[in-house]
Amino acid sequence: MNFTSDNSYGAAPEIIEAMARANEGALGSYGADPLAERVEERLREIFETDLRVFLVTTGTAANALALASVSPPWGTVFCHAEAHIAEDECGAPEFFGGGLTLRHLPGQDAKIELEALADSVTECGARGVHQTQPAALSLTNLTEKGALYTPAEIAALSETAHAGRCAVHLDGTRFANAVVASGKTPADLSWRSGVDILCLGATKNGALAAEAVIYFEPERQAEAIASFEFRRKRGGHLVSKGRLLSAQMDAWLAGDFWLNRAAHSNAMGQRLAAGLRAIDGVEITNDAAANILFVRLPLPVHRHLRAAGAAYYLEPASQTEEGDGVSVRARLVCSPSTPPASVDAFIGLCADAVTVTA
Amino acid sequence: MNFTSDNSYGAAPEIIEAMARANEGALGSYGADPLAERVEERLREIFETDLRVFLVTTGTAANALALASVSPPWGTVFCHAEAHIAEDECGAPEFFGGGLTLRHLPGQDAKIELEALADSVTECGARGVHQTQPAALSLTNLTEKGALYTPAEIAALSETAHAGRCAVHLDGTRFANAVVASGKTPADLSWRSGVDILCLGATKNGALAAEAVIYFEPERQAEAIASFEFRRKRGGHLVSKGRLLSAQMDAWLAGDFWLNRAAHSNAMGQRLAAGLRAIDGVEITNDAAANILFVRLPLPVHRHLRAAGAAYYLEPASQTEEGDGVSVRARLVCSPSTPPASVDAFIGLCADAVTVTA
Amino acid sequence: MNFTSDNSYGAAPEIIEAMARANEGALGSYGADPLAERVEERLREIFETDLRVFLVTTGTAANALALASVSPPWGTVFCHAEAHIAEDECGAPEFFGGGLTLRHLPGQDAKIELEALADSVTECGARGVHQTQPAALSLTNLTEKGALYTPAEIAALSETAHAGRCAVHLDGTRFANAVVASGKTPADLSWRSGVDILCLGATKNGALAAEAVIYFEPERQAEAIASFEFRRKRGGHLVSKGRLLSAQMDAWLAGDFWLNRAAHSNAMGQRLAAGLRAIDGVEITNDAAANILFVRLPLPVHRHLRAAGAAYYLEPASQTEEGDGVSVRARLVCSPSTPPASVDAFIGLCADAVTVTA
Amino acid sequence: MNFTSDNSYGAAPEIIEAMARANEGALGSYGADPLAERVEERLREIFETDLRVFLVTTGTAANALALASVSPPWGTVFCHAEAHIAEDECGAPEFFGGGLTLRHLPGQDAKIELEALADSVTECGARGVHQTQPAALSLTNLTEKGALYTPAEIAALSETAHAGRCAVHLDGTRFANAVVASGKTPADLSWRSGVDILCLGATKNGALAAEAVIYFEPERQAEAIASFEFRRKRGGHLVSKGRLLSAQMDAWLAGDFWLNRAAHSNAMGQRLAAGLRAIDGVEITNDAAANILFVRLPLPVHRHLRAAGAAYYLEPASQTEEGDGVSVRARLVCSPSTPPASVDAFIGLCADAVTVTA
């Protein structure tokens, strides 16, 4: 019963097998291998457009390198106050971006409010050199709070961003979950809605460590792309045996593998949500559109779960195991490897605890 | 009628004369001059304690160098959302601090709410390496919105900061105004209330370009001080003919000169406030404790003032000259060189406009 | 016949199998897995001392993070002018180190001359804040030019460095080759000779992508270690599924696997050297102590090799395929996967070409 | 007898008077004053071409901001190993340039050898993303070793730099001395010989603290100029009371004032050189073309001078007051305020000492 994160399990066996297969023989190093080309081709198919792609090992590197490639050191990146880049990357965007500034925006379930963005972009930089200047909008879909942006919402935010001279970056660490949960195409959820750069995460959806930084309209973005390549090397993120990454991504994108993995995570998330909703005193507090739930657990339920070995994080992290003395707030994440039995066991434990304490 | 800023006038004649006097002969360069030592001695008297001082030409340099000396690149600096370091220095703290992060806090009149600070310090860094870590609290007194912190308020904020492993920095670009307006001693408004580093500004109070970065308890802060010295040189802020700065500061601190300058600014600010309060339709919207007023001006009044050549900024800067169509929001700042006649003329114009349009 | 690099082949099958084994089940993420602990224990055995270790995916990241952890932004890192950090990492140390400075030193076969180091350390920083200050010595063993430092040589350089307040960093991307070629112990080639931080590379010796940053005397280096951990996360180098790295390193260090791989590379290098020395007109120009040869190839020989598909780099990279019109300078690197047949074929081709053109 | 530096004396009285005059009344702050415009106009006259100019307080800031505006963080700046940016600015270019790299080049009297530049530019960046890329050539005229570049020499170096995609920066802290000593026009020594950005120093030639960063062909350099403005503010180098700088520069450039000051320094330098050449055992070791002499002083002469209170630096700084036991190497710099009597007294002391010890 591990609901700590979608990266607490290893990779799917198919990914490991692909890595083993790709391991044979001598190949061009530093990304100059045939698999890397095939990945780029495959992504063009999936996204129905031209693009350039670069592979890195972590989502933090993907996001920070992407943002640094479109923002000067005196740029402002607009993001939700609860975004991963704001809360969980130890200042990586500021580091890679030479001291750029994040501007935190509000919004329910970690979705940026359109009006807040519009106001903030207008205000930012109005005093010329005295202020940092609008440089990028960073969205996350699926959001950190498990919610979905629709293509229309993305398009509205992107339009505002572009009008304010901002590039649009999408942190897609759970992009596959968003595609599956929304029923929209990858294109609709990205470039057709104004996204310029997508960080497409495979690590949380069955890979071992592989993230794709995708630049749409590569000719228009030639300068950012050139900058990315130097920054990646300089950041220590150009792996010599590039097949490590390309083999993972190639296998992950083959057929509907990547979507199937996300479909499983989402299904487990929805199964968990349905089960918990039926239990008195347990409350789901977010718009749990896919595989992430935020729940309020009565303290006895929490203790019962912990005693049974259930693993999950409390949010915010500064909360103690006693929460507010009555309940705790917990984050439950389902992964592509979460067995239905784990979900059912968790629900069962909650139900038991409620019955006993009632 | 120039109310744009307290730095729109030149320096006081006494400052220029002191610079001329100090200009004679060959002296040690790069700060090794006798005047620099005298300034340090004088500050020890004024602050009634041991300290180290470094002089620089701008407030932005003073603040950014000071913060960088006490924060690692992965540090968080807590400040008010409207602080100068957050809104008016083009990301200087992030630049000098190697990509450090500012955390914006709320509070009336640009005074940080104690509870917001406490929550934010507790939350920040709770997830270890995934998050930037608490490094410094940055206060501003007089605040950007013209309000005063009392020693007790500073002490409470400092205590919370220190408990959370933060150094306490005070942006004192208008510290003299705060001393005069509060009737408290420099010591009470700084180290006795927990301030570790004070950026004491002379530029807005009669000097040409001189800011003192003061480290209290210098032995305890030896590491930060050593770091400051390298950062200052590396930042291009170690002027070769150091007397440029020490002569200004020496003259500014002589006797009560510095306090008298601030007393004049404050008196002009209060005279302006009293005059405007008597005028129907003009509203002072901040706690105008010293020399800075934020006012709502009916549009006809604003137009009348502009036509007569009155100079002031609208806030926020993104506002147009038409404001909301009914009124504009303006910032009025009195300086040590603002003549009473200017104040009276401004009040008169407002009164006239109101009468005419009534 | 691929002699381009020791990373042009994939990983050893044993490494891939270990990764597959480690992939099962849910584990603590971000390095909190039992394999990571086992790796640390194993390294303590191998190095016969206490130590702390951190794993990353690339040698560039390992070096740059290590150096940044012991140098302030105003620090100078002394290294050979041909060191990997100076020539092949696109300024990664400068980036991670917040703008630190590399000082290039001379010496045969990329071994730093002791006297040059002594002079440079003495000179550096003598003018106080006007100059960057001595911070670290960075050695490479096996050097970029294929030569070996003896423990005595390392000790002499380290002593000079320590006397000048420098930490000693060893780029050990080919440390295994150095251990095997020298017949010395890992301890003798590192901490017993004064090395404070060793970047131990597995990638070029049979792993897929795994480098260990080892801090000796961890209590003394507690501050650098804490800094490393934040820098690693902030640099995007903390992989979520940490077993990716720990499984590789665990298998690589098991028994004598790591040394056996290097022994093979070295043996192939020596076999190649012996073969080429017997050929008229082909000249080995470096002290080829292990698996790296620098050779002058007569142009007809070079053309014959290229026609037969032999892969290797010309050095310097700015050289054209015609070299100086008479010969080219080539770098030949043997890897743990280089088959003896490849070596023999290469020698045969050289011999043929010489015979034909003679 | 102060020969330590050309900044050990204060400013010329004319500069101080101009500052006092400019101090009257309220003016636009942050560089928006009429004097700033007049300075730009005057520089266009002097340099006979269009240009943009920005004023800052120190040479270190001028150089570092200028270089950062034309180099990406992964850029290489080629400079002489003894250049001020390499040896005396504590890594300011690396700091402002986000971790850019300086490549040190050799050459007599701190003049860069053309061939060394050509080789280095060709080599640099040949391996693509693995290496930092050519970004700028930084020359210094008058050099740190007191020598002169001719326009033809500058043109040849600039051509090589431009062919290698480098901008050409000229550190002109002693540009006035170079103009006077060479008899060439400011245009010939800058843009007509390929210089893109000139840092024109007034501080060492009679001002208090004023340096002009001049961009030639401003339309072509629009991007660098925009970058400069943000970097200047962010670096804390945009002084609020801009007249501090514009008044100095305006007075300094009026008529031939600036050239006359340098003519005096140069004349004193030549007078000193002539006097010392006549003294047995004292050896001038550099090509003393203007106001800087490097001399070998027999130890008894040195002791006699020190006893008499003569002030000068030993070079290198790591040298002790005993030098090599027989002689010391000293740097003697004449300033615009050096009295002929000081020069003669110094020569007399040398002559005395030699006579006594002979």
pLDDT at B298 over 90: yes
Question: Chain C window 120-149: which residues touch B at a Cβ cutoff of 8 Å?
Answer: 129-130, 133
Q: What is the pLDDT of residue D330?
A: 97
Residue C328 pairs in a beta bridge with C297
Cα B296 to Cα A113, B350, C104, distances in angstroms: 28, 12, 62
Residues of chain A with CATH 3.90.1150.10: 263-357
C-alpha–C-alpha distance, residues A228 and A55, integer Å: 11
Residues of chain D with CATH 3.40.640.10: 13-253
Chain segment D82-120, per-residue pLDDT in tens: 999 999 999 999 999 999 999 999 999 999 999 999 999
| Partner residue facing B99 (CB), from A74, A95, A132 | A95
pLDDT at C1 over 90: no
Cα A217 to Cα A45, A53, A151, A220, A229, distances in angstroms: 14, 11, 18, 6, 17
State the smallest CA–CA distance between residue A158 and chain D in angstroms: 26
Q: Is B104 close to A99, i.e. CB distance below 8 A? A: no
Percent of chain B with pLDDT over 90: 90
C-alpha–C-alpha distance, residues C199 and C85, integer Å: 12
Establish if A89 touches chain C: CB-CB under 8 angstroms. Answer: yes
Q: Is C72 close to B230, i.e. CB distance below 8 A? A: yes
Residue numbers in D near B26 (CB within 8 A):
2, 8-9, 311, 337
Q: What is the mean pLDDT of residues D206-212?
A: 95
Chain segment B88-112, per-residue pLDDT in tens: 999 999 999 999 999 999 999 999 9
pLDDT at B358 over 80: no
Q: What is the pLDDT of residue A237?
A: 98
Q: What is the 3-state secondary structure (H, E, C) of D54-89?
A: EEECCHHHHHHHHHHHHCCCCEEEEEECCCHHHHCC
Q: Is B236 close to D203, i.e. CB distance below 8 A? A: no
C-alpha–C-alpha distance, residues B43 and B316, integer Å: 36
Model confidence at B9, pLDDT cuts 50, 70, 90, reads: confident
pLDDT at C32 over 80: no
Chain segment B234-260, per-residue pLDDT in tens: 999 999 999 889 999 999 999 999 999
pLDDT at D188 over 80: yes
Establish if C65 touches chain B: CB-CB under 8 angstroms. Answer: no
Q: What is the pLDDT of residue A92?
A: 98
Percent of chain C with pLDDT over 70: 97
Q: What is the pLDDT of residue C159?
A: 98
Closest by CA position to B53, among listed B186, B179, B208? B186
pLDDT at D27 over 90: no
D interface test, pick of A54, A74, A101, A129 with most D CB neighbours within 10 Å = A129
| Partner residue facing A230 (CB), from D129, D227, D238 | D129
C-alpha–C-alpha distance, residues D72 and D74, integer Å: 5
Q: What is the pLDDT of residue A174?
A: 97
Chain segment D331-357, per-residue pLDDT in tens: 999 999 999 999 999 999 999 988 876
Q: What is the pLDDT of residue B31?
A: 64
pTM of the model: 0.97
Q: What is the mean pLDDT of residues A307-324?
A: 92
Contact B60, D236 (CB under 8 A): yes
C-alpha–C-alpha distance, residues B336 and B14, integer Å: 13
Q: Is C88 close to D131, i.e. CB distance below 8 A? A: yes
Model confidence at B316, pLDDT cuts 50, 70, 90, reads: confident
Q: What is the pLDDT of residue B354?
A: 85
Establish if C64 touches chain B: CB-CB under 8 angstroms. Answer: no
Cα C310 to Cα C345, C357, D126, D127, distances in angstroms: 9, 19, 22, 20
Q: What is the dihedral of CA A60, A63, A65, A69, to 10 degrees?
A: -170
Percent of chain C with pLDDT over 90: 89
* Chains sharing 3 or more CB pairs under 8 A with chain B: A, C, D
Closest residue of C to B223, CA-based?
Answer: C72
Q: Which CATH superfamily is domain C261-357 in?
A: Aspartate Aminotransferase, domain 1 (3.90.1150.10)
Q: Which two tokens stand for residue B219?
A: 């032995």
Chain segment C270-302, per-residue pLDDT in tens: 999 999 999 999 999 999 999 999 999 999 999
Residue environment code for A143-172, b if the CB has 16+ CB neighbours within 10 A, otherwise e? bbbbbbbbbebbbbbbebbeebebbbbbbb
Residue environment code for A65-81, b if the CB has 16+ CB neighbours within 10 A, otherwise e? bbbbbbbbbbbbbbbbb
Task: Give residue for tokens 């270790």.
Answer: C53
State whether ipTM is beyond 0.90: yes
Q: What is the pLDDT of residue A28?
A: 66
If you write DSSP's letter for every residue of C315-327 in order, what string do you get?
A: SSTT--TTTTSSE
- Among the residue ranges A29-33, A63-67, A305-309, C349-353, the one predicted with the least confidence is A29-33
CA dihedral (D82, D83, D86, D90) positive or negative: positive
Q: What is the pLDDT of residue C325?
A: 93
| Partner residue facing A73 (CB), from B91, B101, B122 | B91
Q: What is the mean pLDDT of residues D119-140?
A: 94
Residues of chain C with CATH 3.90.1150.10: 261-357
Residue environment code for D312-324, b if the CB has 16+ CB neighbours within 10 A, otherwise e? bbbbebebeeebe
Q: What is the mean pLDDT of residues C233-257?
A: 95
- For chain D, give the number of residues: 358
Q: Please state, rounded to an integer, the average pLDDT across all residues of chain A.
A: 95
pLDDT at C358 over 70: no
Establish if D95 touches chain A: CB-CB under 8 angstroms. Answer: no
Q: What is the mean pLDDT of residues A45-69?
A: 98
Residue environment code for D261-296, b if the CB has 16+ CB neighbours within 10 A, otherwise e? bbbbbbbbbbbbbebbeebeebebebbbbbbbbbbb
Percent of chain A with pLDDT over 90: 90
Closest residue of A to C229, CA-based?
Answer: A90
Establish if D73 touches chain C: CB-CB under 8 angstroms. Answer: yes
Closest by CA position to C130, among listed D89, D7, D314? D89
User: Coil, strand, or helix at residue B161?
Assistant: helix
- Among the residue ranges A123-132, A189-198, D226-235, the one predicted with the least confidence is A123-132
Q: Please state, rounded to an integer, the average pLDDT across all residues of chain B.
A: 95
Q: What is the pLDDT of residue B318?
A: 84
Q: What is the pLDDT of residue A100?
A: 98
Q: What is the pLDDT of residue B49?
A: 98
Q: What is the pLDDT of residue D26?
A: 65
Contact B217, B194 (CB under 8 A): no
pLDDT at A154 over 90: yes
CATH number of the domain located at residue range(s) A13-253 in this protein? 3.40.640.10
Chain segment C46-91, per-residue pLDDT in tens: 999 999 999 999 999 999 999 999 999 999 999 999 999 999 999 9
Q: What is the mean pLDDT of residues D158-186?
A: 98
Q: What is the mean pLDDT of residues D54-81?
A: 98
Residue numbers in A near B129 (CB within 8 A):
90
State the smallest CA–CA distance between residue D156 and chain B in angstroms: 31
Q: Is B129 close to C229, i.e. CB distance below 8 A? A: yes
| Partner residue facing D57 (CB), from B7, B57, B234 | B57
CATH number of the domain located at residue range(s) B263-357 in this protein? 3.90.1150.10
Q: What is the pLDDT of residue A26?
A: 65
The residue with greater pLDDT, B5 or D225, is D225
Q: What is the pLDDT of residue C354?
A: 85
Chain segment A86-135, per-residue pLDDT in tens: 999 999 999 999 999 999 999 999 999 999 999 999 999 888 999 999 99
Between chain C and chain D, the number of residue pairs with CB atoms below 8 A apart is: 73
A interface test, pick of D29, D30, D129 with most A CB neighbours within 10 Å = D129
Contact D169, D59 (CB under 8 A): no
Residue numbers in A near B317 (CB within 8 A):
123, 126-127
Q: Is A91 close to B102, i.e. CB distance below 8 A? A: no
pLDDT at B310 over 70: yes
D interface test, pick of C94, C103, C132 with most D CB neighbours within 10 Å = C94
Chain segment B160-176, per-residue pLDDT in tens: 999 999 999 999 999 99
Closest residue of D to A130, CA-based?
Answer: D233
Q: What is the pLDDT of residue A86?
A: 97
A interface test, pick of D56, D223, D234 with most A CB neighbours within 10 Å = D234
D interface test, pick of A234, A237, A239 with most D CB neighbours within 10 Å = A234
State the smallest CA–CA distance between residue D238 and chain A in angstroms: 9
- Among the residue ranges A6-15, C325-334, D148-157, D277-286, the one predicted with the least confidence is A6-15
Establish if A313 touches chain C: CB-CB under 8 angstroms. Answer: no
Residue C51 pairs in a beta bridge with C216
Strands A51-56 and A211-216: antiparallel
